[in-house]
A = this chain, B = another copy of it.
Amino acid sequence: MVDQLSEAERAEALDALPDWDYDEGRDAISRSIVFTDFAEAFGFMTQVALIAERADHHPEWTNVWNRVEITLTTHDAGGLSARDVDLATAIDSILDG
């Protein structure tokens, strides 16, 4: 079990994740990424899939050719948790790497 972030914790987390949009209605964060082509997009998804599986925390995501849209929230917590922040940070690291 993991706790939903407090307002202060969430504000701090969002400051550190400037590429992510906050969806207040769902208490979720999302990021859209455009790659060169499908192979690059799906390669990225495979990297994220392995990290997500190891953390046992998975994204909601959509892929259309070179675009990937990722949404993170924690159903068990009823909203954004530290697990989402960790996964978002890991995703940013892949993209910046």
Footprint of B on A, CB under 8 Å? 38-39, 42, 45-46, 49, 52-53, 58-65
Q: Is the CB of B38 within 8 A of A52?
A: yes
Chain B residues positioned under 8 Å from A58 (CB to CB): 38, 64-65
Q: Is the CB of B64 within 8 A of A60?
A: yes
Q: What 8 pairs across the A-B complex have the smallest Cβ distances? A: A62-B62, A60-B64, A42-B49, A38-B58, A58-B65, A61-B63, A39-B53, A38-B53
Chain B residues positioned under 8 Å from A38 (CB to CB): 49, 52-53, 58
Please, how many angstroms separate the alpha-carbon atoms of A45 and B41 in the complex? 13
Q: 19 pairs across A/B with beta carbons < 8 Å?
A: A38-B49, A38-B52, A38-B53, A38-B58, A39-B53, A42-B46, A42-B49, A45-B45, A46-B46, A58-B64, A58-B65, A59-B63, A60-B62, A60-B63, A60-B64, A61-B62, A61-B63, A62-B62, A62-B63
